[in-house]
Each structure stands twice: as C-alpha cells, then as structure tokens.
Amino acid sequence: MKRLSGTNEEIARLLYEEQLELSRENLNVEEAVRAMIEDVKERGDEALRDYSKRFDKVEVANFEVGQDLIDQAFAEVDEAVLVALENAKANIESYHRQQLETGFEDQPSAGVVRGQLIRPIERVGVYVPGGTAAYPSSVLMNVIPAKIAGVKEIIMVTPPQEKFVPAILVAAKLAGVDKIYQVGGAQGIAALAYGTQTLPKVDKITGPGNIFVATAKKQVYGIVGIDMIAGPSEIGVLADNSANPRYVAADLLSQAEHDELARAILVTDSEELADAVEVEIEKQLKELPREAIARASVENNGRIIVAENVDAMFDLMNLVAPEHLEIAMDNAYDYLDRIENAGSIFLGHYTSEPIGDYYAGTNHVLPTTATSRFSSALGVHDFIKRIQYTQYNKEAIQAAEKDITILAYAEGLQAHAKAIEVRNDED
C-alpha cells in the first residue's frame, strides 16, 4: 500500500482526485448505453430479447420468473444459507422500522393550517446483478426498506441465466418482491424506466451493477428516481496502537476483494501499526481466492497515512468522507461524535465492516466518492414522498396580503400579486 504524507488538506485533495479518476465517465460506455436505452424505448421486449441473446447468451422466451423456479430455489438452497437470510432479514427489518416517518400539522395563526403528508412511492424497481456478483444480501437491503415504507409493488430484474443462484430468488421471496423478470444490464434499467410490453414502468430504481448499469441509471434519472450513482467500494480505518494489525489488514482486504478499483485507506498515528498492517496484508493476500483482485486494489488504490495525533486522524477522515468507516480504537464509542462524514460507522476492534454488509441490520447501500458529505445510506426515507399542504381562510389571506404582494411585485411577478388581491377585491 502506498504511503501518503503532507497536510490533511493536501492528502484529502489527492485522495479525492484519485477517487474521481477511478469513477471517471467512460465516453464510449455513455454512448453505448444511450443507444441501448433508445433501442429499448422503441422496440421494447424485442430489444430485450436481442440483448439477452447477445450479452447473456440466453434466449428468453418468458421474461417473468415463475413460481416454479422460486419453489425450486427454496428446495435447492442450503439450509444454513436460508437460516442466515432469515436472521439477517429480521435485523434489517427491526432497524429500518425505526426510520418510518409520520406527517405533521400545525396552526401557526388564526385561519391557517399547514402540514405534511407521507406517502410511499407507488412502484419500485430493484436491479440485482447475476453471475459472480449475485449478492442475496443486497436483495434484502434494497427491498426491505421499500416494503417497510409501504411501496405497493416491487419489481426485481436480474440477468437471465441457464441456472439462477438459488439464494437470490429465495432472498427476493423472503424480502417481499412482487415480480421478478430476467433482464440484465443497461437494457434492464431502460425497461424499468420506460416500460415494455411485458415489464411495467417503475417510479424509482435502486440496486448495484456494473459500469453499464450505473451509467444507465444516471441517464434515466429524471424520468425515474434512482438511489445513487455509486463508485467503487471504499473503506477507511482509523486505528491507533491499541489496534490488532491482523484485524485491520483483514478489514481493509474485505473491501479490496470486491473490485480492482476498490479503495482501502488506513489512517493511524502509529508507525509501528502501519508497518505491521502492511506485513499482514501481504500475508493474508496469499490466502485469498480473489487474491488477484484484492492485490490490484491495495497496490494501486490502497493508502496508508500516518498522522501526527488522534485529532489529525479524525480531521483527515472527515475530509475523506469514506463509504465505510471503522474506528479500531479502545473506547471507540467515545469518538462517535467526532465523525461528521461517513456512509456507515463501525465501532471498536470487533465490529468488522462485513457485520454491516450482512447482518447487523444497518443498510449496506452507501454513498461513495466522498458523497457522504451530503448523502446517506439507503433507507425507508428513499421510498417515500413528502407532500406539503396549506389552507388559509378569508381572514388569514387578508392579513397576509401586504407581505405577499410586496414580495411578488419586488420579483416582477404581477400575476402572483393579482392572484392574492383578487380574493380581497370582492370587499
């Protein structure tokens, strides 16, 4: 892993520029995806079949995944996996139920009523990758908050395959997906955004995917809502000399194995720990089945920063604003108030990041590329709408006329002012 030095501001700027480079748009991908979206808009199901044959090497007769395949998945899934999914579901539900919002209403003055309604989004589409990137945990994380929010219909799309990963279909059923369609890639996003003869148009799309899926989500945003435009996975670890280098190395590699573009960043005030972690990373890399991916990640994108003291450690990590943040320090909970920017925080020597990926109940769909400075983990709030309402009676509008019309005339919008004045001209 590369060592960085300099002021916090210099290091943070360098890390941010590196992050942007990893997430930089590929113009060829942008153009290809735009063409695919237009094709799906024009030809619908016919285009989806052509792309499935071309990219997935599967000829799809029926896009919808039937109950027979779901039943078969339950029969084939490993019993231990099923139990783990059920336990994870319970934790995700119990956490996200606490995010439910209620509306409000007040009467700030005589004759005035103001309020806010909470309404669920009508129909949501969830994209689920296939093949080696088929993660049943991600199905739970995307679907369960939507169900708790009260979304009326959840549509899942996943690439067509000769044989589906049983745990994916099982997770979808456990989480409450209403319909599953075997459509992948940018064409799947286009189908969800615009609808086809078979797939219904949705109001919002969530879920991870490759660069084509992410690009398609960005291009259909505005036609539908999306969860976020995610970059490569990231982990930041704050550790002092109380940390176990073996644990720290393992946690850095837990994200490095995702993708060659993934980022693992250690910030510490201990040269001794930094050295020990480097030794452990090399040792543990050799034991990983995905060694090539993880090695490329840590060698190209892994960073170690030795800060002057604990204050400098926290100041720097707040500038970095990582997706995942571990505080590998004694009494880690006492430092919680020091964190301003992070997607999800993991406290103490035993709270490894994968606990959040799979089990704790907190969501693992998180903001990347320093966007935790202004955005949050996926949650129930992403699947609801807040609708304002106002009521003024005659006396209230008379009392407010002067202030409203002064502002309207100041902005040069006479019709705005007249719309108020006309209600009082009757007298």
What count of other Cβ atoms lies within 10 Å of the Cβ of residue 405?
18
CB-based contact 155:178 (threshold 8 Å): yes
Q: Which residues contact 231 (CB under 8 A, 6 or more apart)?
A: 19, 22, 23, 261, 368, 369
CB-based contact 344:323 (threshold 8 Å): yes
96, 257, 280, 324: the catalytic one is: 324
Q: What whole-number distance in Å separates Cα of residue 141 and Cα of residue 126?
A: 10
Q: What whole-number distance in Å separates Cα of residue 203 and Cα of residue 119?
A: 13
323, 326, 353, 364: the catalytic one is: 323
Handedness of CA 392, 395, 396, 402 (dihedral sign): positive
Could you confirm whether 411 is annotated as catalytic?
no
Q: How many residues does the chain have?
A: 427
What count of other Cβ atoms lies within 10 Å of the Cβ of residue 96?
23
Could you confirm whether 324 is annotated as catalytic?
yes
Q: What whole-number distance in Å separates Cα of residue 338 and Cα of residue 391?
A: 43
CB-based contact 160:183 (threshold 8 Å): yes
Cβ burial, residue 224 (10 Å; 0-12/13-18/19+):
buried
Helix, strand or coil for residue 120? strand
Q: What's the first-to-final CA gap in the chain, in angstroms?
A: 78
> What are the distances in angstroms from CA 351 to CA 118, 325, 347, 366?
35, 11, 6, 17
Q: What whole-number distance in Å separates Cα of residue 163 and Cα of residue 75?
A: 14
Cβ burial, residue 197 (10 Å; 0-12/13-18/19+):
exposed
Active-site positions read 323-324
